[in-house]
A and B are shown apart, each in its own frame.
Chain A
Amino acid sequence: MTVNSAKIYSLAPHMRVRDESFGLLFYNTKNTGLIFINSGDLIKAAALKQGGTKAALAPQNPVNGEAILEKLLGRGILTC
């Protein structure tokens, strides 16, 4: 999988997110559904709310961060 390193990831407008001990908790305002992401400290909610590249969102480990970001993108949680 080749991903543009300059790709800007943003939180989808209908999603909310916050940090939890296991990683990220997403809330879908359309259906009140929850999505638990076991991402540890890799990506912080505040950064996701701002949006940015994989390097900006997961500076400690952009490679693992990218895998998570792409999965979130695929599930419609993030936009690009």
Chain B
Amino acid sequence: MLKDNLHNIPLSAPVNVTWEITRRCNLNCKHCLSRDRMNDCASDMTFEECKQFVDDLLACSVFQVNIGGGEPFMREDIWDILAYCHENGMVTCVSTNGSLIDEKAAKRLTAMPLNYIQVSLDGYKKETNDAIRGDGTYDIAMGAIERFTAAGFPHLSINTVVTRVNFRELPYLYALAKKYHAKTRLSRFRPSGNAAAMWDKYHLTKEQTLELAKLLSEYHDIVTGDSFFSITAADRKHLGLNMCGAAKMTCSVSPDGNMYPCAFLQQDDFLVGNVKQEKFIDIWNNAPLLNEFRNLKPTSCGDCERFDTCHGGCPAIAYFLKNDIHAGDPACIVNMGK
């Protein structure tokens, strides 16, 4: 038996799929990856199309769907979609802004076998969060967290997109999550969607990136699905992450069924197919662009001694800042020093 390097093993299907289930959202966060496309709600997949899509994922043994949006609970049939997933053995995770989580919804979700629910909170201080996510959103998110806790929901996580403006509050956010027996989940800030205009103001400095690594090393129960660069090889192993998983372990499907290598690259340049028109697994196996992602070796990383620990980082950030997925992640601590 052996555990091989993931990047050398083409998988038969993704491990998980990020499914943006609706374009509808009742917030307008400054760093939203998809807010700039939230004007086409009519194209959301119907319930029948959603069921067919879930069937297609199950047929190729995708283990998990990460349901987001938009705000997933803006869909009236989200309950039926979740129930359909669970009845058929699909593991589900849901990301929400918490605005539609009343007491009844919290109890209903607690009764479901969700793997986790992620509530977004982008500051320990109300003014920090609300400056990013909108007035009143701190109280909205905290209300949802309180209700999930009161209902006894067992797998809650509080997700924070790490920016220059909330960076100093991360230890306090961690303590807050502990108080509610929730996980802390940190995500990288990427200049996609609304966030493109906020890059200069929000992206971490090199010093902050290094400091963040210390935090992640110190608090091993912080969860992240992201390739923060200064993380040591040992800590990356702990986090289960040493590479971008786009097209290798994951991909993204938008509300209208369009499929992309990842949720941050929902651009025409990266459209690889539509799951309403083709079988999901056929797109996964045959799309040339997905194969290109599976073999990325950024030009700036050719002789970098750290390559085996990060594999070039995030192609989405390279694309948005350098218009080239082969350019190497500009937010890498090595590239930031150049």
Cβ-neighbour of A34 out of B1, B2, B15, B61 (below 8 A): B15
The number of residues on chain B lying at the interface, defined by a beta carbon within 8 Å of a beta carbon of chain A, is 19
| A1-34 with Cβ < 8 A to chain B | 16, 18-22, 25, 27, 29, 32-34
Chain B residues with CB under 8 A of A45: 61
| B1-18 with Cβ < 8 A to chain A | 1-4, 6, 9-13, 15-16
Is the pair A39, B9 in contact by a Cβ cutoff of 8 Å? no
The number of residues on chain A lying at the interface, defined by a beta carbon within 8 Å of a beta carbon of chain B, is 20
Is the pair A36, B3 in contact by a Cβ cutoff of 8 Å? yes
A73 contacts partner chain B, Cβ-Cβ < 8 Å: no
A55 contacts partner chain B, Cβ-Cβ < 8 Å: no
Closest-by-CB residue of A relative to B155 is A30
Closest-by-CB residue of A relative to B64 is A32
Report the minimum CB–CB distance from A33 to chain B (whole Å): 6
Is the pair A38, B91 in contact by a Cβ cutoff of 8 Å? no
Counted as pairs of residues, one from A and one from B, with CB atoms less than 8 Å apart, the total is 47
Closest-by-CB residue of B relative to A37 is B1
- Please judge, given known A-B contacts A33-B240, A39-B1, whether A18 and B13 are in contact too, CB under 8 Å: yes
Cβ-neighbour of B1 out of A18, A21, A32, A71 (below 8 A): A71
A68 contacts partner chain B, Cβ-Cβ < 8 Å: yes
Is the pair B1, A38 in contact by a Cβ cutoff of 8 Å? yes
B115 contacts partner chain A, Cβ-Cβ < 8 Å: yes
Cβ-neighbour of B11 out of A25, A29, A37, A38 (below 8 A): A25
Is the pair B9, A20 in contact by a Cβ cutoff of 8 Å? yes
* In the complex, per-residue mask of B151-163: 1 if CB is within 8 Å of any chain A CB, else 0: 0000000000000
Chain A residues with CB under 8 A of B89: 16
Chain B residues with CB under 8 A of A68: 1
Subset of 14 A-B contacts with CB under 8 Å: A16-B89, A18-B13, A18-B61, A18-B63, A20-B9, A27-B63, A27-B64, A29-B91, A32-B64, A32-B115, A33-B240, A36-B4, A45-B61, A68-B1
Across the A-B interface, the 6 shortest Cβ-Cβ residue pairs: A18-B61, A27-B63, A38-B2, A36-B3, A16-B63, A29-B91
